[in-house]
């Protein structure tokens, strides 16, 4: 392969197998101490799919590295266990489950996943470091799901009777933990959701609740996230179907239990936000909310609570939040002692960096003769301090177009403006442009699309 930017030639290995181990209609199997890597799976596929009527399957002390999509996926199976295993550097998810029952996940690590989506400015919609959908009677214990270029852990639709204890989710690009469109109960205890503010827009969240009922969060810490606790969703809720019973359910935010937690923000970070779901949605949420014995704190100001009353996006202080919700009677507004110790003591990644941008701005439309500016960012990880040069590929395929970076390099962390200017004679069409960040042997890319009308 010849690199036209560096005028160099490289030898590369191209994987061809989508799946490395496929299990279907099997029972009573154990896989221990095996490494699964470099699978060329498409999105929604996995290096190791365990699916379709499997039961009593155990993965212990296994490794899932550098696969194109997810590392391992349990699907349509019962009584499965993944334990003492590591699922790192996978393109979409590290650990994944779909329509499972009695699945156990204990003492696992899922880090640095989501890089394949990040290459397309695609961080959300069905991906996460740890991603579960339609999980019934699930147990999670001792999970580390951190440094993912997507959600840390995401329970996505029709999850019930699930429990998670002693999780750590730190420095993920989107919400550290996210429960959506689920009837519950989902019970999360003794966990830490931290440091979700790596220079990136509105989605850097600690815990996100979206149209879900009977979720309990207790004994846990939310620390240094753009928003610590977000209540959001679709007005009136969603209609889902319970895969076991076939029953249609309308799920919305209700019966949320939030007790004995520490919520600690810095700078302008919001501690609680429900700014959009007003009227009956807010009434349903607040009337069924059980929130008490929490410690709330932000040393940089006072108005860090956002509620939809008396008007949308009303910012208030701690006493105003108590008066509005009539909750947290035994909670306190004070600096917590030793907050986020689980995240503070978390061994960090190797020296590296992300090359990312706002998830909703990868696509742009201009009229011929117009211009558009993207704002890519570099996020340093693991003490990275190098200088990153910025380049692009694809401008020559857009007739008459020119492109500039300002600045042309970034040291450690920061953002740049990448502006593409077309001419009135530029033909209509959609043009992909690859943005390139390089530091020595470390090269990161992402592809944006410019549509010329």
| Helices assigned H by DSSP within 205-292 | 279-287
Entry field: residues in the chain:
453
- The H or E element containing residue 320 is helix 318-325
Strands 402-406 and 417-421: antiparallel
Give the pLDDT score at 197. Answer: 59
| Distance in angstroms (rounded) separating the CA atoms of residues 244 and 260 | 33
Bridge partners (DSSP) of residue 241 are: 248
Give the pLDDT score at 201. Answer: 43
Residues 6+ apart with CB under 8 A from 27: 54, 55, 56, 57
Three-class SS state of 342: helix
| Distance in angstroms (rounded) separating the CA atoms of residues 363 and 306 | 30
- Cis peptide leading into 285, omega within 30 of 0? no
Q: Of 190, 224, 198, nearest to 342 (Cα)? A: 190
Q: Of 384, 359, 415, nearest to 175 (Cα)? A: 359
| Distance in angstroms (rounded) separating the CA atoms of residues 139 and 162 | 6
Count other Cβ atoms within 10 Å, centred on residue 393. Answer: 15
| Distance in angstroms (rounded) separating the CA atoms of residues 83 and 59 | 6
Bridge partners (DSSP) of residue 393 are: 434
Per-residue tens of pLDDT for the chain, all 453 residues:
666 666 778 888 888 999 999 999 999 999 999 999 999 999 889 999 999 999 999 999 999 999 999 999 999 999 999 999 999 999 999 999 999 999 999 999 999 999 999 999 988 878 999 999 999 999 999 999 999 999 999 999 999 999 999 999 999 999 999 999 999 999 999 999 998 855 544 358 999 999 999 999 999 999 999 899 999 999 999 999 999 999 999 999 999 999 999 999 988 899 999 988 999 999 999 999 999 999 999 999 899 999 999 999 999 999 999 999 999 999 999 999 887 777 877 877 778 899 999 888 899 999 999 999 999 999 888 888 999 999 999 999 999 999 999 999 999 999 999 999 999 999 999 999 999 999 999 999 999 999 999
- Cis peptide leading into 185, omega within 30 of 0? yes
Give the pLDDT score at 41. Answer: 95
C-alpha of 238 from chain center: 21
Instruction: State residue 322 phi and psi, 5-degree precision.
Output: -60, -45
29 CB burial (10 A radius; 0-12, 13-18, 19+): middle
Give the pLDDT score at 238. Answer: 96
Burial 101-135 (b: 16+ CB within 10 A, else e): bbbebbebbbbbbbbbbbbebbbbebbbbbbbbbb
Q: Model's pTM, two decimal places?
A: 0.93
CA distances from residue 16 to 37, 40, 55, 60 in whole angstroms, order as listed: 12, 6, 29, 26
CA distances from residue 113 to 153, 162, 337 in whole angstroms, order as listed: 11, 23, 32
Three-class SS state of 324: helix
Instruction: State residue 387 phi and psi, 5-degree precision.
Output: -100, 130
């Amino acid at each position: 392969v010849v690199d036209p930017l560096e005028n160099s030639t490289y030898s590369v290995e191209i994987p061809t197998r989508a799946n490395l181990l496929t299990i279907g209609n099997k029972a009573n199997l154990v896989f221990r101490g095996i490494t699964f890597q470099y699978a060329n799976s498409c999105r929604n596929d996995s290096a190791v799919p365990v699916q379709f009527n499997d039961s009593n399957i155990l993965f212990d002390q296994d490794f899932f590295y550098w696969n194109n999509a997810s590392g391992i996926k349990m699907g349509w199976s019962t009584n499965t266990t993944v334990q003492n295993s590591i699922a790192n550097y996978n393109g979409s998810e590290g650990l994944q489950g779909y329509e499972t029952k009695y699945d156990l996940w204990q003492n696992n690590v899922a880090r640095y996943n989501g890089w394949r989506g990040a290459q397309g400015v695609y961080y959300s919609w069905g991906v996460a470091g740890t991603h579960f959908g339609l999980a019934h009677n699930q147990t999670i214990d001792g999970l580390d799901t951190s440094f993912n270029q997507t959600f840390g852990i995401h329970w996505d639709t029709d999850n019930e009777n699930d429990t998670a204890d002693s999780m750590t989710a730190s420095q993920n690009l989107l919400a550290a933990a996210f429960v959506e469109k689920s009837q519950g109960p989902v019970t999360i205890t003794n966990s830490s959701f931290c440091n979700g503010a790596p220079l990136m827009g509105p989605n850097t969240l600690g815990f996100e609740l979206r149209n879900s009922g009977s979720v309990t969060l207790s004994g846990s810490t939310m620390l240094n996230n753009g928003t610590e606790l977000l209540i959001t969703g679709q007005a009136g809720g969603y209609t889902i179907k319970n895969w076991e019973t076939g029953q249609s359910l309308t799920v919305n935010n209700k019966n949320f239990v939030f007790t004995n937690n520490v919520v600690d923000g810095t700078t302008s970070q919001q501690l609680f936000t429900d700014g959009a779901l007003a009227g009956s949605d807010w009434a349903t949420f607040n009337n069924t909310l059980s929130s008490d014995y929490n410690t709330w704190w932000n040393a940089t100001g006072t108005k860090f609570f956002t509620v939809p009353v008396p008007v949308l996006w009303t910012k208030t202080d701690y006493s105003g939040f108590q008066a509005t919700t009539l909750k947290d009677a035994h909670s306190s507004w004070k600096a917590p002692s030793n907050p986020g110790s689980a995240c503070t003591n978390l061994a960090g990644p190797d020296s590296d960096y992300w090359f990312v941008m706002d998830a909703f701005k990868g696509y742009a439309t201009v009229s011929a003769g117009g211009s558009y500016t993207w704002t890519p960012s570099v996020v340093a990880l693991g003490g990275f301090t190098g200088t990153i040069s910025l380049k692009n590929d694809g401008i020559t395929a857009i007739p008459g177009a020119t492109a500039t970076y300002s600045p042309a390099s970034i040291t450690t962390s920061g953002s740049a403006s990448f502006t593409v200017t077309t001419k009135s004679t530029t033909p209509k069409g959609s043009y992909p442009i690859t943005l390139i960040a390089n530091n020595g042997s470390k090269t990161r890319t992402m592809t944006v699309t410019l549509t010329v009308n």
